[in-house]
Amino acid sequence: METLIHNPLTRFLIQAFLIIACARLVGLIARKLEQPMVIAEVTAGILLGPSLFGWLFPGPSAVVFAQESLPLLKLVSEVGLIVFMFLIGLELDPKLLRGRGHASVIISHTSIVVPFALGGLLALYLYPRLSDSSVPFMSFTLFMGVAMSITAFPVLARILTEKRLLRTKVGALTITCAAVDDVTAWCVLAFVVSIARATGLVGAVWTTLFAVVYIGGMLFLVRPFLARLGERGASKEGLSQDLVAVTLLLLIVSSWVTEMIGIHPLFGAFMLGAIMPKSTGFAKSLAEKLEDFAVVFLLPLFFAYSGLRTHIGLLNSADGWIMCGLIIVVACVGKFGGSAVAARLTGLRWREASALGILMNTRGLMELIVLNLGLDLGIISPKLFTMMVLMALVTTFMTSPLLRWIYPPEELAKELADVPDRTPLPVAAEVFTVLMCVSYERTGPGMVTLASALAGRGPEARRLYALRLIPPTDRGSFYLDQGPDRQGTTALSPLLSRAKELDVEVRPLSFVSPKPSHDICNVADVKQADLVLVGWHKPLLSQTVLGGTVYEVMRCARSDVGVLIDRGLSAVRKLLVPFHGTAHDRAALALARRLAQQVGADVTILHVVNPKRRADDAIGAQETVDEVFEGEEGGALRKAKVTLKVVHHESPADAALEESARGYDLVLVGVGSEWGLAQRRFGIRAEHVIQGCPTSLLVVRCYEPAAVPAPAPAPSQPMLSTALTAGPDRT
């Protein structure tokens, strides 16, 4: 091993490779557990430290992470922290702190005061056991209070987005309180650091005065300059390298000034990012240039450095683990209890108040930054540092499972899909509801063309929803500004434009979804959809169209599902329905019958008979078609032409393809093996009918509750008659 490491640069490159690779591998597990990436990065850092790697392989660990190499690792990680704190400042929009009402003020102040007070009380117990006389008791107490009060704003923003809570009342209130907490806690921490670094009372006073002067200069001198810089960066020339260089120079100067004052370079980086103008695209463009390198390369180095300083072996006694458990309990009681009770007193329901308390208890990265500051300044010991790191891990890890328990997906779907129906309906009105799930922009126009034809022309009897689900992003910044509303509007624009041409009202829905199939089914339940319309796409690692998310929706949705393969559908005038008699075929036939009612579409029903069998189905075919025009809705159906066509062919799928080439606007076919269409999670060859059909195709799956018996046998002529004369909405 030592022969491979012949200079400091080589050692650093090997360290960086191991750190980033381990963080990404653990990240795969974290994503499976629905945990934020910070959990993986912190865990990876601990695994590479003496707690595991150094314990299992002491020789290689001592060579790769030799003591003489740690100063370089620390230096690079601190540079990454400075850049990251600048990004956090960019992410913090001052508009979040205005106009949120008294509730956010009460909750945010309570979520600072209560854990701070409990941290101070805990310090009375921990100081004689985990500290010594060289550490001033006031500094220790204030630091414990701040450490208990921290909320990880960037991690919280990511969790809120991934859990689709950002647009809810709880999410908006939580992110506001977290922003206030972040600013307050960092200001208090700056005061604590200045006291810890000061040589006496006079030094502390001078540090405070210099800090006030620095803040005033940043607000009244630097911010106007940044505003002009932002306007230039938002112009048509865009963000040039010169502007990036000027910004980085300001970042270096701001960090250097706060270091000289006696606070810490991180505060200067955070302050510069916080006063950066957010109204233009300058801050967003700047973050995009810096974020990936800082988050993917530099931050894991900081986590690894923190992991190298975390010695779980120091907790080698029952007393040590009891004190660690006490720290975790006090942290949860202070942050969760204070936030939840304050939220309940301001009028929130217990479910909402509990969710807010769970979210505010998230610490993650920000806690680690604070703890490393405390360890560097000598305020806390390595043993207490290890306990506090475990506390940060536990409080962050518990957020997602507790949130799922408090806010189950069904309850969340009700809030996210709560779009008021602006058109009042008569009490007896029969409403046909279509939920259109748009994954790609190109599928929108065809979907709304079909949905509007199915729902009919009367606005009092139709409900059309366009759902756009946005996959969660790894980006840490600008969740709040570049939210699902803006992304959803962009993706749904072609659909909404087509709906305007058709004079049809469509209600758009959009939110972030890590599990799109679950959310589609939940929204369909909430909206009581008669039909879930899914756009065609080819899933990853699969050659089958009816796989992936489409497969999950077909399997789990409690309503009929249609998969539209759009090949330029602009009108619904001439329909082909291949019919073999299954429940899915009957559902496709029911949709065709509804189209005949609503828009007068011509329907051709293709019944394929195996030539080796008797063709009794052909007898009385015309009489069966005539039966369609009888009954209560016969007048509406007489506007359409319904034709029953019986053909003899050994392959139903090939017969359907041959007939589809005769100039149809849309082919409606039930999912089933007889047409070469099977629901499957994965597949190795594309469906024959889907690939060969020259026109637009709608693959229909009928909702069959568990109580429904097995599919009926091959159709006879009376079965066709029953399917044709069934109601328009359900068969």
Residue range 210-232, pLDDT digits in tens? 888 888 888 898 888 888 887 77
Of the candidates 281, 390, 277, the one whose C-alpha atom is nearest the C-alpha of residue 327 is 390
Give the residue with greater pLDDT, 92 vs 550: 550
Q: Cβ distance 689 to 558 under 8 Å?
A: no
Q: Cβ distance 462 to 598 under 8 Å?
A: no
Percent of the chain, pLDDT > 90? 12
Of the candidates 57, 150, 167, 142, the one whose C-alpha atom is nearest the C-alpha of residue 111 is 150
Q: Which pLDDT score is estimated for 666?
A: 93
Q: Which pLDDT score is estimated for 631?
A: 44
The Cα–Cα gap between 193 and 472 comes to: 37
| Residue 351 reports pLDDT greater than 50 | yes
Instruction: Report residue 128: phi and psi, to 5°.
Output: -70, -15
In this prediction, residues 642-667 reach a mean pLDDT of 85
Residue range 70-85, pLDDT digits in tens? 889 889 988 988 888 8
Q: Which pLDDT score is estimated for 40?
A: 82
Residue range 466-520, pLDDT digits in tens? 988 877 665 544 444 444 455 556 778 888 888 888 888 888 888 777 778 888 8
| Residue 358 reports pLDDT greater than 50 | yes
Q: Which pLDDT score is estimated for 707?
A: 35
Dmax of the chain from CA atoms? 107
| Minimum mean pLDDT range among 33-42, 352-361, 490-499 | 33-42
Edge-first strand listing for the sheet containing 462-470:
507-512, 462-470, 432-437, 531-535, 560-565, 696-701, 666-670, 574-579, 602-609, 642-648
Q: Which pLDDT score is estimated for 328?
A: 94
The three-state secondary structure class of 643 is strand
CA 100-101-106 angle, 5° bins: 105
The Cα–Cα gap between 460 and 422 comes to: 10
| Minimum mean pLDDT range among 13-22, 301-310, 510-519, 720-729 | 720-729
> What type of residue is 211?
A
The Cα–Cα gap between 213 and 261 comes to: 10
CA separation (Å) from 154 to 106, 416, 487? 22, 22, 20
Q: Cβ distance 300 to 45 under 8 Å?
A: yes
In this prediction, residues 378-399 reach a mean pLDDT of 90
Highest mean pLDDT among 59-68, 188-197, 317-326: 317-326
Q: How confident is the model at residue 731 (pLDDT cuts 50, 70, 90)?
A: very low
In this prediction, residues 86-99 reach a mean pLDDT of 68
Q: Cβ distance 551 to 679 under 8 Å?
A: yes
CA separation (Å) from 506 to 420, 422, 434? 12, 11, 10
Tell me the H-state helices in 262-345: 265-275, 282-292, 299-308, 318-332, 338-345
| Residue 317 reports pLDDT greater than 90 | no
Buried residues in 74-95 as b, exposed as e (16+ CB within 10 A): bebbbbbbbbbbbbbbbbbbee
Strand-pair partners of 700:
562, 670
| Domains along the chain with CATH numbers | 94-292+322-407 (1.20.1530.20), 430-535 (3.40.50.620), 562-731 (3.40.50.620)
Q: Is the dihedral of CA 327, 329, 332, 337 positive or negative?
A: negative
Q: How confident is the model at residue 284 (pLDDT cuts 50, 70, 90)?
A: confident
The three-state secondary structure class of 528 is coil
In this prediction, residues 703-724 reach a mean pLDDT of 46
In this prediction the pTM is: 0.67
The Cα–Cα gap between 228 and 43 comes to: 42
Of the candidates 418, 359, 396, 364, the one whose C-alpha atom is nearest the C-alpha of residue 171 is 359
The Cα–Cα gap between 253 and 275 comes to: 15
Q: Which pLDDT score is estimated for 366?
A: 78
The three-state secondary structure class of 572 is coil
* Structure token digits, residue 609: 């008979």
Percent of the chain, pLDDT > 70? 78
The Cα–Cα gap between 187 and 114 comes to: 17
The Cα–Cα gap between 432 and 496 comes to: 19
| Residue 252 reports pLDDT greater than 90 | yes
Output the CA torsion 281→284→285→286 (10° steps). Answer: 120
> What type of residue is 142?
L
| Residue 394 reports pLDDT greater than 70 | yes
Computed on alpha carbons and rounded to an integer, the radius of gyration of the chain in Å comes to 32
Residue range 429-477, pLDDT digits in tens? 578 899 998 888 888 899 999 999 988 766 666 789 998 887 766 554 4
Q: Which pLDDT score is estimated for 86?
A: 87
> What type of residue is 119?
G
Q: How confident is the model at residue 620 (pLDDT cuts 50, 70, 90)?
A: very low
Query: Mean pLDDT, the chain, as a whole number?
Result: 78
Q: Which pLDDT score is estimated for 413?
A: 61
